[in-house]
Chains A and B, each alone.
Chain A
C-alpha cells in the first residue's frame, strides 16, 4: 500500500499544483448520476471513498468534513471497466515454445507500457492479462489494476487461469489436439498417482484400482488454487516435474485452476467441449469470430464466453457467393449464451472504435441487447467471471474505489471519460491529458 501511495503521489505530483489536497485519504464524489451496477442508478448521489475503498454510496449521504469533495454534477460515475481477456501489457504475447504451463504473465508485465496508460484513458481499471492464442499451453494469466509502478502492487489475482489454445501453432490440427490430450492425460495420471496410496489403504483389490480411481472424482478440498501444497501422505512432485508445470496442469485437470480455452473456429468448440468433459476443466471459452456457427453448442455454459473484438463482419457464402452480415452479439444473445467483450489490439487502437469497451457495448445495444445488460457486461459480469467480484465490478460499500467518471450517459458517442479513479486515486484526468489535447487540437503544429 505504501508503495502504491508513493507511486500515485509521483504520478499525481505533476498536476498536484492545481489540485491541492489530492493526497487526502477521503474523497466524496457528489452531484453526479451513479450507475452502481448493483441496483438502480442513483441520480445526484454521493460516493464516499476512504483509504481506497468505497465507504458508502447513496442519495442522502452526509459528506464528512475531512473529505475532499469532487463535484461531478451533470456527469455520470460507473464502476471502472474490466478487461476480461487481453494479451497486452507484456513484451510478447507468446513464447516460441508452445507448451509452457510453468510460465506466468506476471513475469512479463511492464507497467510503463502505453497499454496501461491507454486503459486508464478509456476507463479500464482492471485487466485480465492472459498469454496469447498462438500456443498450446501458454502459461498463467493474471488480473491487474491498470495503475501502478511495480507489477506486484498491481496484482488483483494471480493464477487467474491457464491459457490453452486449440489453434494449431504448426502442423496439423490433429497433431495439436493430440499433444494437448497427451499433456492433460499425463496430468490426470499424475493426480491419480498422488491419490493412489490413499486408495490402496482402503483394502481394494489391486486390479480394480484403475477403474475405481477413474470413477472417483478428485477428492482434494476445493478453494486451494495452488496445487504445490502436498496432499496428505502423497509424495510431492519432483522438482523436475514442477519446473515443467506439472503442478499447474494437475490443478487444471482437477478443475482447480481455471482455463482460458481459445477456440479459433466452430469446430474447435466441439473439441473444447469434449476436453472440458473428459478432463473436468473449469473453462472460459475465448472465441475467434468464426466460432459463431457453434453458438448453439455453448448454450448453458457456466461462464460467459469471451467474444472476438470484431463484433460485426461480413461473410461470403462459398457456394452462393452471397454476402451476409454477422453480428456476434446478436448470434450469441439469440442462442442464450452470456458473453463479455474484448477490445482490439493496440496496433489498431487509435483508428478502430472496437478498441473501446463502451463502443463494444454500444454495438450490442444497437443490435438488441438492453442497455442495463450491456453496462453490466463492462464490469460486474467480467468481475464475476474472473472471480474478483468481491473487490471490484460494482459501486458498493466495501469494494475497491475503482471508478470511471463520464461526461454524460455511457454508450453515447459524445461522452468522454472525464476521470478514472483506481483505489480512490485519480489516475486519469482528461483536463490534464496532454496527449489527447494535442491529438484533438486543430492543426497544432
Chain B
C-alpha cells in the first residue's frame, strides 16, 4: 500500500512502522468487522420479506411491485415480486401502497461529535470517530431518513482532523462503525481564515514534552498563508526525515494510503487551489461545498487527479428565506448548486455528485432541500442517487450502503409515496434490517387517496380526501394533509359518498313490527351490536332509515357506525294509504285535520307568545325608565331641599323671593353658552335655575310617568304527545312518507298531503308511481323505489328507476330489509346496467336523499360534511365493482383486506 517512492526513501523510520502498524491495525479492524457481520449473517433463521408498491434502488429506475428479502441485517435479494423467489420460512411484511428507498447517506456532518474547535489550527491526527457518541439520541435524523453519516470535525480550522463513517440507530457500536477514518478534512474556505478562538495558549499547562516551548504560530491569517501553509505541510510530510510529528505522520499516512482529502472550497479561486494541491501532491480528493464549478470546465486540470467527487450544498433553506452566497467580486463565478449539479452531470460525473445540506440542523429536511436539484431538469432517480448511492461510493462503501441490492446492508426507508413528492412522509426507517424509527405521535387525521373521487362538482381523478375528527377537511386533487396522517392509498379505488337506505329494518336487531306511537323516539332504541348493521354496511350503506312496519310510524335516520349514531329523529312520518279511495281519504283527512288543529293551536299560542315576549320587553324597558325617573326625581327633590336650606343660611331670606319671580325667563332662554360671556352674576344664575328647574319639571314628570301595565302571558295549549311530531311535519321540518299501493290512492296522497296541507311529501311505491309518472312529475314528488326495482307489465319488464328518470321524477331507494340491505347498491346496479344514468342513480342513493330529508351533514363529499364514504374497486353501481372499504364518521368500519 505504501507508495514505491516512499519505500525507497525509507530505510528505517519509526514513522513507517507506525504507518504499517496502523495499516495492519485497520486491516485487522476491518477483518474483525467483516467477521462480525458474517457472524450476524450466519445467525440465520430470521428472514423478512417486505412487499412494496414501488422500490427505488438508489442507483436506478424504480421497480414496481417489488420485494426485498432481508436476512441477518443484509439484503439477500431484491426485485420485482414476480422475479424473486421468496424463502418459505420468510416472515412476510405487506407494505401495500408504500414506497421504499435506501437510507440516506449524509456527508460532512458533525452529528454526535459536538463541534468544539480545537485550540490549534492544524490537527490532522484527530479522529472524529473518537468523539462520536454511539449511544447518542439520533431519532431526529433517523426520522428524516438518514441512516449513515460521515462525521467530520469542526469547520473553522484548516486541518481539523480525520473524518469517519458511522450508522445511526441503536444496536452495538461495532454494528454501526463503518469506517474509522474516511479521509482528512481540509478547510480552504473563509470559515477557517483567522481561525476563531485560536489564541496563544497560556504558558503553564502545556504538555510535558515541551514545558517551556513558546506557542507555535498558527497558520491561517490570510488565504495565501492558508494555501501555502497547507502546501508546506504536505510537502514536509513527504520528506523522508520528517520529525516524529503526529500531524505530519497523519498527512503522510493519508497520502500513502490514498485516503481522500475532503477539501472544503467555496469560491472559484479556492476550488482552483484545491485542484492544484490535489495535482501537486497526487491526492485522492473530494471537493466539498463549491459554489462554482467553472474550474472543472477545463478537464485537463483535474482529469489526471484522483478525483472522488463533489459534495454540493442546496441553496434552499427549510421553511425560511435562504441565505445563499451571492455573486461578489471575489466570487464572480458563483452559480446555484442545482446548476452546478447539472453541469457536472453533463460532464459525465453523474456518479460523483452528492448532496448535503450546509448544517446538521437542515439535514432533517434533506429530502425537501434535494428537491431544488429538480429545477435543472435532473431526474428524480439521479437526485436520489446523489443522496444515497453516490455518497456511499464516494466514501468507499459502494455496494454496502446507499443501494438496495443483494449483498448490501438492509438500510431502507418506508415512505408514503414517491420520494421528493410534496406530502410524502417517512413512516419507518430500517438500519441493518432492524426498525430503528417508526412514525408515531398523535395522528391528527387520515388521508385517503384513490384514482377517482365523486364530488358534487364532478369526478376528481387521482384525488385525495383528508379527514379529521370524523369530518371531511379536504376533498380534491391536492389537499392539506393532517399531521401524522394515517394514510390509505387505493391505487384503483373509486370513492363515493356512503349510501343512504331510506327504508330499512336495521337498527334494532330484528324488524320492528309493533305499532309505535308517533312520538316514539326510535333513535333511543337503537341496538349497539346489531350484526345486521355490520352486514349491511359491507354493501356500502352508511345511513339507514328505520320505521315500524305498522303504519303510521315515526322514522329515524341513523348512521351505521359501530355505535349507531342518530342523524335525525324523527326524519319523517310514514303513513300508509290503503283500502277504498273514500275510506282512505276520509281517514287520513281526519288524522291530518286533528293534527292541524292541534298544530294551529300551538301556532297561535306561539305567535301570541312571541307577541307577549315583545310586549314584555317593552314593558320591562318602560318600567326601568320609570323607576329611574322616579329615583332621579326624588334625588332632585332632596337636593332642592338641601339647597334651600343652605341658601337660607347664607343669604338670608330677603333676596330669594325676587329671584324666584325672575327665574322663569332665564330658564326658557337658557342655553348655558349664552349666559357665559356676560356671566357676572353667573353663580347666582346657575343657582337660581337649578333651584327653579325641579319645581317646573317635577309635576310634569310625575304626571307623564305612569307605572306601565304588565302584559298578560298567553295560555299554553295542552301537550298531546302523539300529535307533537305533526307540528314539525306542518312546519315542513320533516317529511311525510306515504306508502301507496294503488293508482287511485296516489292521487289521494298528492291531493291531501301536498295540495291540502302543503306538506313535504315523498311517496313510497315505485310500482304505482311508474304508472303515474306524469302526475309525479307535475307535482315533482320524489318516489321511493324498492325493494324491487322492476315490475312486469304484460310480460314486459319495466325498470322503475329508468321509467322515473326518463320523466324527470326524482327517486330514492329503500331495501325494506335488515342484513340484506347490503344488496341495495347491487340492486340499483341492475338499473344502471339497463341504462339508468350512473350519476342520477348514485344521486338517489346519496345526495338527493340527503336533500329531500334535510339530513345536512351526509350524502356528498364536500368539506365540512361527515366523513362517510365508500371505496369501490371500480365504477359505482357496477356489479363488477366490489366494496374495498367503508368509512363512517372517519372510522373505517369495513375493509376488505382486514376481513
Contacts and interface: CB of A to CB of B under 8 A. Distances in A.
Query: Are A and B a genuine interacting pair, yes or no?
Result: yes
Contacts of A173: 113-114, 130-131
A172 B207 CA distance: 16
Interface stretch (B15-23, B602-610, B803-811): B15-23
Contacts of B133: 265-267
Interface string B276-300: 0000000000000000000000000
Nearest to B180: A274
Given A210-B20, A297-B173, A178 B134 contact: no
A298 to B, nearest CB: 12
A174 B153 contact: yes
Contacts of B25: 278
A210 B15 CA distance: 10
9 contacts: A173-B114, A174-B131, A175-B123, A178-B126, A178-B130, A214-B24, A265-B133, A297-B172, A318-B137
Nearest to B153: A174
Contact of B16 (A193, A210, A265, A294): A210
Contacts, number: 99
Contacts of B113: 172-174
Contacts of B116: 171-172
Nearest to B116: A172
Interface in A80-103: 96-100
B139 interface: yes
A244 B207 CA distance: 11
Nearest to A292: B135
Given A172-B116, A178-B161, A266-B134, 20 more contacts: A97-B208, A171-B118, A172-B117, A172-B126, A172-B153, A173-B114, A174-B131, A175-B123, A177-B127, A178-B126, A189-B17, A210-B16, A211-B24, A214-B21, A214-B24, A244-B209, A265-B135, A266-B135, A267-B133, A267-B135
A117 interface: no
Contacts of A96: 204-205
Interface string B93-131: 000000000000000000001101111000101111111
A210 B123 contact: no
B: contact size bracket: 35 or more
B126 A267 contact: no
A177 B173 contact: no
Contact of B17 (A177, A192, A244): A192
Contacts of A189: 14, 17-18
A175 B162 CA distance: 11
Interface string B402-441: 0000000000000000000000000000000000000000
A244 B208 contact: yes
Given A172-B114, A270-B173, A294-B135, A178 B127 contact: yes
A15 B283 CA distance: 80
A73 interface: no
Given A175-B123, A182-B246, A210-B16, A319 B136 contact: no
A296 interface: yes
A293 interface: yes
B302 interface: no
Interface string A322-366: 000000000000000000000000000000000000000000000
B172 A296 contact: yes
A243 to B, nearest CB: 9
Interface in A179-234: 179, 181-182, 185, 188-189, 192-193, 206, 209-211, 213-214
Interface in B786-836: none
A175 to B, nearest CB: 5
A172 B14 CA distance: 28
Interface string B133-169: 1111101000000000000011000000100000000
B208 A182 contact: no
A319 B139 contact: yes
Nearest to A188: B21
Given A171-B118, A244-B209, A270-B173, A214 B20 contact: yes
A100 B208 CA distance: 8
A367 interface: no
A266 B154 CA distance: 22
A415 interface: no
Contacts of A293: 135
A271 interface: yes
Listed from nearest, the 7 A-B pairs whose CB atoms lie closest are A177-B130, A266-B135, A173-B131, A174-B131, A210-B17, A172-B116, A267-B133
B186 to A, nearest CB: 16
A297 B173 CA distance: 9
A296 B174 CA distance: 12
Contact of A97 (B24, B130, B139, B205): B205
Contacts of B20: 210-211, 214
A185 B18 contact: yes
B135 A174 contact: no
B773 to A, nearest CB: 67
A178 B125 contact: yes
Given A178-B126, A206-B12, A172 B118 contact: yes
Interface string B438-455: 000000000000000000
Nearest to A176: B130
B127 A174 contact: yes
B612 interface: no
Contacts of B12: 206, 209
Contact of B205 (A98, A265, A318): A98
A176 B204 CA distance: 18
B619 interface: no
Contacts of A97: 205, 207-208
Given A99-B207, A178-B123, A271 B118 contact: no
Interface string B459-471: 0000000000000
Interface string A99-112: 11000000000000
B132 interface: yes
Contact of B208 (A99, A178, A210, A296): A99
A278 B131 CA distance: 17
A181 B130 CA distance: 10
Nearest to B13: A210
Q: Which of B119, B172, B207 has the most A CB atoms < 10 Å from its CB?
A: B207
B135 A172 contact: no
Given A192-B17, A319-B139, A267 B134 contact: yes
Interface in B1-39: 11-12, 14, 16-18, 20-21, 24-25
Interface string B181-216: 000000000000000000000001101110000000
A186 B780 CA distance: 102
Contacts of A266: 133-135
Contacts of B161: 174, 178
B540 to A, nearest CB: 41
Interface string A257-283: 000000001110011000000100000
Nearest to B136: A267
A238 to B, nearest CB: 13
A280 B46 CA distance: 36
Contacts of A172: 113-114, 116-118, 126, 131, 153-154
Nearest to B250: A178
A100 B211 CA distance: 12
B118 A175 contact: yes
A189 B123 CA distance: 21
B216 to A, nearest CB: 15
A177 B131 contact: yes
Q: Which of A100, A174, A271 has the most B CB atoms < 10 Å from its CB?
A: A174
Contact of A174 (B18, B24, B130): B130
A139 to B, nearest CB: 12
B170 to A, nearest CB: 10
Nearest to A190: B14
A271 B246 CA distance: 20
A182 B21 contact: no
B838 to A, nearest CB: 51
A106 B728 CA distance: 102
Nearest to A175: B118
A322 to B, nearest CB: 13
